[in-house]
Amino acid sequence: VFHEVERLDGIRMVRLLVPPDLESVKLIPAAKPLSDMIMQFFINRQVAPQIAELIPQIALFADLNQGQIKLLASQCDLRNYHRGQKLFSENGVGEEIYLLLNGEIAIYSGDTKNSIGRIHAGECLGEISLLNKTPHSATAIAESDIEVAVLTHQQIDKLVRLHPDIGVTLYHNL
């Protein structure tokens, strides 16, 4: 359609799909929240397909259909932790579910110096504390640099209110 025709609006549309480089841009403080929201869109757009691939492998999310999986994946935030950083502490309040995309997490309980378990890419943690509103039963520490998709209590509540069928499946699986 655009062969040998100058279509600047077509060029603008293409440029909208490429995340801007904000390293050299100076923003006023009032623009920062909007900028963060837009940049989160670009991050989610890149990561959501990877999250959507992992979701069916996790027992808590079994039996969700493709549309529900896409909705769930789009609600996730992406976070990075460095080796040795703590994701959560034993007896701490569970506010988030973590889906490990890359790396490894060690699980510790009590005063032991040795880990009692490991979480690998494609696995989930924190879901029982979040959904049952109970304290964490262990401490989770990044064994390597990791990347996790995070679902907060507020995000899950909002999703369940808008799509009760997802809530029924989550609580049934739990």
Q: From the centroid of its chain, how far is CA 111?
A: 30
Query: Which H/E stretch holds residue 77?
Result: strand 77-81
pLDDT at 60 over 90: no
Nearest to 88 by CA among 143, 130, 141, 150: 141
Q: Is the pLDDT of residue 50 over 70?
A: yes
The 10s digit of each residue's pLDDT in 162-173 is: 999 988 988 888
**Which helix (H) or strand (E) is 57 found in, with range?**
none
Distance separating the N- and C-terminal Cα atoms of the chain: 52
Q: What is the mean pLDDT of the chain?
A: 81
- Cβ 95 vs Cβ 130: under 8 Å: yes
**Sorting pLDDT into bands at 50, 70 and 90, what band is 57?**
confident
User: What number of CA atoms fall less than 13 Å from residue 122's CA on the CB side?
Assistant: 4
pLDDT digits (tens, 9 = 90+) for 88-146: 988 888 888 898 988 999 999 887 788 888 999 888 888 877 777 788 889 999 999 99
What residues contact 88, with CB distance under 8 A and at least 6 apart?
Answer: 94, 96, 126, 136, 139, 140
Q: Which amino acid makes up residue 48?
A: A
Residue whose entry in the numeric block shows the structure tokens 């988030």: 96
- pTM for the full predicted model: 0.71
pLDDT at 23 over 90: no
pLDDT of residue 67: 87
pLDDT at 18: 60
Residue that the structure tokens 């509540």 belong to: 157
Q: Which amino acid is at 69?
A: I
